[in-house]
Amino acid sequence: MHRLTTGDPALDHAQIEFFRQQGYLVCRGLFQPDEVDALRQRFERLADGSEPAPAPGNWEGDRTATDPLARHPRVMFPHRWDSLSLCWLLDPRVWDILRVILEDEPVATQSMFYFKPPGARGQALHQDNFYLQVEPRSCIAVWIAIDPSTPENGGLSVVPQTQDVAVACPETADESVSFTDHLVVPPAGKEPLPLALQPGDTLFFNGNVIHGSGPNHSTSQWRRSFICHYMPAASRCISKAYFPLLNSAGEEVPCDISTSGGPCGTEFETANYGA
Ligand SMILES: O=C(O)CCC(=O)C(=O)O
């Protein structure tokens, strides 16, 4: 097992302590502007059809829709067919940080690309491990800003110090502002903290941390992001939607399928939300 030490090169002691206490950590400028531009342009070309996707996906938008999210839906698991997305999922800078904060070898479970155009709804407060069902321990999210991400354009908020809050059965969200109907209300005394991120800034947060975003109120600014999920190698099971799981070399890792019905006591379909 990888032990946290103050001499660890991936993170300094203050960052490690911050993650332990708050449940999240922002690493500024982890990805360079030219890298971010390349990923953004790749997805722009896929979305406008100028670069054909090697595999059909759930992400092909409906150009006639009035809902901005229907025109530009989330791209789910692009690393399964896009080599650039796979490189980002397996990026050694991310994995070095994950090794420190997980105190274990990471296993990659998911990638997503969000376009979040002007006018798009957000995603109400939720906990990612409700969907991934990683056990024991929790998953971890890596949220990479592709555009400036602010409260105005639907940037992400986290509720600090909720990493030890048990995964809850969600209440019903307001679907006029959220594209899911799941809402996890923070415990008394805990409030969402809006984060301001620049392109390349990378947010790490524990899979039990309550987080979400509001609508993009900007008339011109997109809020694109690339989001990955991982779990510690010591975890023994995960929901079936996330297979195949990958190690740092991109090789498949065996794991059991979670048989838990989750905190609501019923099985549910992860594909609609996917965290
Ligand atoms: O990026 C967002 O607005 C929400 C993303 C999110 O919370 C998630 O993918 O779990």
Sorting pLDDT into bands at 50, 70 and 90, what band is 4?
very low
ω before 244 within 30° of 0 (cis)? yes
Domain boundaries, the chain: 13-272
> Given its phi and psi angles, is residue 161 left (phi above 0), alpha (psi -120 to 50 degrees) or beta?
left
Q: What is the pTM of this model?
A: 0.93
* Mean local confidence (pLDDT), 115-124: 97
**128 in contact with ligand 1, CB cutoff 6 A:** yes
The rounded Å distance from CA 156 to ligand 1 centre is 7
Cβ(141)–Cβ(204) below 8 Å: yes
pLDDT for 37-72, tens place per residue?
Answer: 999 999 999 888 888 877 766 567 787 889 998 889
Q: Which amino acid appears at position 264 of this protein?
A: C
In this prediction, residue 27 carries a pLDDT of: 98
Q: Ligand 1, atom 10: nearest CA belongs to which residue? A: 275
Lowest-confidence region among 10-19, 65-74, 83-92, 217-226: 65-74
Pocket test for ligand 1, best of 72, 123, 146 (most atoms within 8 A of CB): 123
Pocket test for ligand 1, best of 110, 142, 156, 204 (most atoms within 8 A of CB): 156
Residue 3, pLDDT > 50, answer no
Locate the ligand 1 atom nearest the alpha carbon of residue 211 and give its number. 7
Please name the residue that has the structure tokens 């990026």.
Answer: 91
Pocket test for ligand 1, best of 143, 204, 210, 270 (most atoms within 8 A of CB): 143
The rounded Å distance from CA 6 to ligand 1 centre is 31
In this prediction, residue 135 carries a pLDDT of: 96
SS3 223: coil
pLDDT for 129-171, tens place per residue?
Answer: 999 999 999 999 999 999 999 999 999 999 999 999 999 999 9
Which DSSP string do the residues of 63-83 spell out, in sequence order? Answer: TT-SSHHHHS--EE-GGGT-H
- Supply the CATH classification number for the domain 13-272: 2.60.120.620
**225 in contact with ligand 1, CB cutoff 6 A:** yes
Q: Ligand 1, atom 8: nearest CA belongs to which residue? A: 275
Q: Ligand 1, atom 7: nearest CA belongs to which residue? A: 212
- How is residue 271 written in tokens? 């594909």
The rounded Å distance from CA 199 to ligand 1 centre is 16
**203 in contact with ligand 1, CB cutoff 6 A:** no
Within 10 Å of residue 16's Cβ, how many Cβ atoms?
20
In this prediction, residue 119 carries a pLDDT of: 97
pLDDT for 167-223, tens place per residue?
Answer: 999 999 999 999 999 999 999 999 999 999 999 999 999 999 999 999 999 999 999
The rounded Å distance from CA 212 to ligand 1 centre is 6
- Contacts of 1-4 with CB under 8 Å at 24 or more apart are 1/103, 1/104, 2/99, 2/100, 2/102, 2/103, 2/104, 2/105, 3/103, 4/100, 4/103
Rg, Å, the chain Cα set: 18
The whole-angstrom separation of Cα 66 and Cα 168 is 33
